[in-house]
Amino acid sequence: MIWTCNCLPVFKYLILVGFIAFLSGCGTSPHGGPMIVDGYTDQEVSPARREVVRHAGQLIGTPYRYGGSSRQGFDCSGLVQYTHRKVGLKVPRTTASQWNQAQLPDRKTFLPGDLLFFNIGWRKTRHVGIYEGDGIFIHAPSSGKQVSRASLDNPYWRNRLIAAKTFL
């Protein structure tokens, strides 16, 4: 007896269902709740926010320097302090102080100029970057690197994001 199976339609159906299930997981945040990136209006983005982002963008390529807060080099919190000082805001120097003193925004979207805080491990528990928009932030990553842009689409950053806060 020869057994035959017309399994191709079933196989195609299972692949389609699996693909749809995979795509449906792409819209959630790492914390289980909704995380709306952008969705803001131009009226919500103040001139000070635009200036913080503009100043941060001008520093791309500046070398990382531990404890640095000048054009000679920046660490992550030094970059935040420097860009905010450029718009007349006094911001604490360390990531821990920035975390403690920045305010949680009363909204569910990120605005350009927001500070994004990350938990990146046991040696350096917090890292901070400046949200630019469209899922991109500017930061001073680590020794041997330079101020650069990074994407929240990158699983490394997306999985370590703990909060957005602001001084603006």
Task: Evaluate whether 73 touches 65 at the Cβ level (below 8 Å).
Answer: yes
Q: Two tokens at 164?
A: 């957005």
> Which sequence positions are flagged as catalytic?
76, 127, 139
From its phi and psi, is residue 48 left (phi > 0), alpha (psi between -120 and 50) or beta? alpha
| CATH assignment of the domain containing 87 | 3.90.1720.10
pLDDT for 17 equals 38
How many domains is the chain partitioned into structurally? Answer: 1
AA identity, residue 109? T
pLDDT tens-digit profile of 27-86? 333 333 334 456 666 667 899 999 999 999 999 999 999 999 999 999 999 999 999 999
In a domain, 80, yes or no: yes
- Bridge partners for 139 per DSSP: 148
Band of pLDDT at residue 106, cut at 50, 70 and 90: confident
Give percent above pLDDT 70 in the chain.
72
pTM greater than 0.85: no
What range does the domain containing 122 cover?
33-165
pLDDT tens-digit profile of 117-135? 999 887 667 999 999 999 9
